Structure 1
Amino acid sequence: MTQALSRTGVRQPTLKHTVPMKVIALGDSLIYGFGDPEGGGWVDRLRRQWMQSEGPILYNLGVRGDTVRHISQRLENEFRHRGELRHQVPDQIILSVGVNDSARLGRPDGRNMTPFPEFQTRMADLLDRASQLCPVTFVGMVPVDGTKMPFLDAFFFNNEDQHLYNEATRLACQERQIPFLDLFDAWRQRGEAWCQSQMSKDGLHPNSQGYQMLLADILDWQALQILG
């Protein structure tokens, strides 16, 4: 709080403008919200909730099909251009990427979109660089329905590969003390039938009900509770 002179010469307290916290959600279609025509995905649902409560400003920077390489390429540029005011930058980064990296190309036993050793290296680099910009949290992937593959007649996703890539991400975050929400294990513990009921017809993206459940899981996550 600062003080200003009134017409009588007496200093009156004036309220200092509070700049709201800015958060960027950077990732693939799980951030973008594909598959949720009702709410636009968990990020947009959360954005509207925070707007109503005058909470943080949340930017949805999800791009369908992005891999860890794509996110790494646009990390700094997205971060530097979301400050709104001169010399400001976001206060928090939410990352969510990895499922596209795990995809098998062309056939169920084809090569992964991003070979696993390369994925580990790229993910470690992404987390290190993001952490140098501001605090980071990571929202993990949700299980897919492998019976609905291939996706777009070209990509084969399966839970075995997902588990491998998800676990590598979890461990990389753990090593850097980055909060990681393990949705993959949390959803699988609820049963295969439950998981399938939360997915769109393509077997890859959550449906509107699934995104609502995803939001509920995220709102219960302590790492996000301190923001809103």
Structure 2
Amino acid sequence: MGELRLVMVGDELVAGAGDPKALGWVGRVAARTRTDDRLTVLTLAVPGETTTELGHRWEDEVARRLTPDVDTRLVIGLGRHDLAAGLSLARSRLNLANVLDVAEQRRLPAFVVGPPPGAATDGDRLAELSAAFGDVATRRRVPYVDTYAPLAAHEQWLADLASGDGLLPGQAGYGLMAWLVLHTGWHTWLGLPDDAA
């Protein structure tokens, strides 16, 4: 029996901040990922992180968790902080492209989860950011989960945000994000049967 190691990088959404069950989407996805191998999930989240900051830290942090005989994969959970930091769309695209290119050079399979809806004032800009991230991933044949478009007008998502701080989802919101991940190529990417969900 081997080990499947998933290294999750991203901001507070990867850590499940705001979830009263402390699972977030990562914990829910891991719980629904059934494999014959031992599954280890390592969450390396930094609250408030932009893609520029992620780009500076991820390689060193992930490298320390690589073992030659372990199937290790990189999951990138992208948040919304590029908007608040005033990063251009081109810079955000380039930051993600650089991460994915280095991951490919390291033979580290990558999977990208895009930013979910947040403050209503960010709507159009966040839709553009999510689409840009999706384009970068698709051009590199890396699976991309668009969480923005399916949730932007989703009643349960909006109610969950409204019941909290308006930015972080709660239990229901993270459940919706997990569902999207599990049903957007997750099992195929891991080489597992789809009925494992």
Once the two structures are superposed, the pairs formed by residues 118-157 of structure 1 within 5 Å of their partners are 118-133=91-106, 134-146=108-120
Partner of 1:46: 29
Q: CA RMSD in A?
A: 2.4
Cross-structure match for 1:60 = 43
Return 5+ residue gaps in structure 1 as ranges: 1-17, 104-111, 147-156
Partner of 2:157: 195
User: Does structure 1 residue 206 correspond to structure 2 residue 169?
Assistant: yes
Deviation sequence 1:107-126 (CA, Å, 0-9, x none): xxxxx532323222222212
Aligned pairs, number: 189
TM-score by length of 2: 0.84
Distance 1:185 1:38 in 2: 25
Residue segments in structure 2 that go unaligned for 5+ positions in a row: 193-197
Give the drift of 1:48: 4.2
- How do 1:20-169 and structure 2 match up within 5 A? 20-50=3-33, 55-83=38-66, 85=67, 87-88=68-69, 91-103=72-84, 112-133=85-106, 134-146=108-120, 158-169=122-133
- Report which of the two structures shows the higher radius of gyration computed on alpha carbons: 1
Structure (1/2) with the larger helix percentage: 2
Distance 1:122 1:113 in 2: 14
TM-score (norm 1): 0.73
Task: Report how far residue 171 of structure 1 moved.
Answer: 0.7
Whether 1:170 aligns to 2:170 is: no
Pick 1 or 2: higher relative contact order, CA cutoff 8 A, min separation 6.
2
Q: Following the alignment from structure 2 to structure 1, what is the Cα–Cα distance between the partners of residues 123 and 71?
A: 34
Please tell me whether the aligned partners of residues 156 and 172 of structure 2 are also in contact (alpha carbons under 8 angstroms): no
Identity of aligned residues (%): 24
Contact 2:157 2:176 in 1 (8 A): no
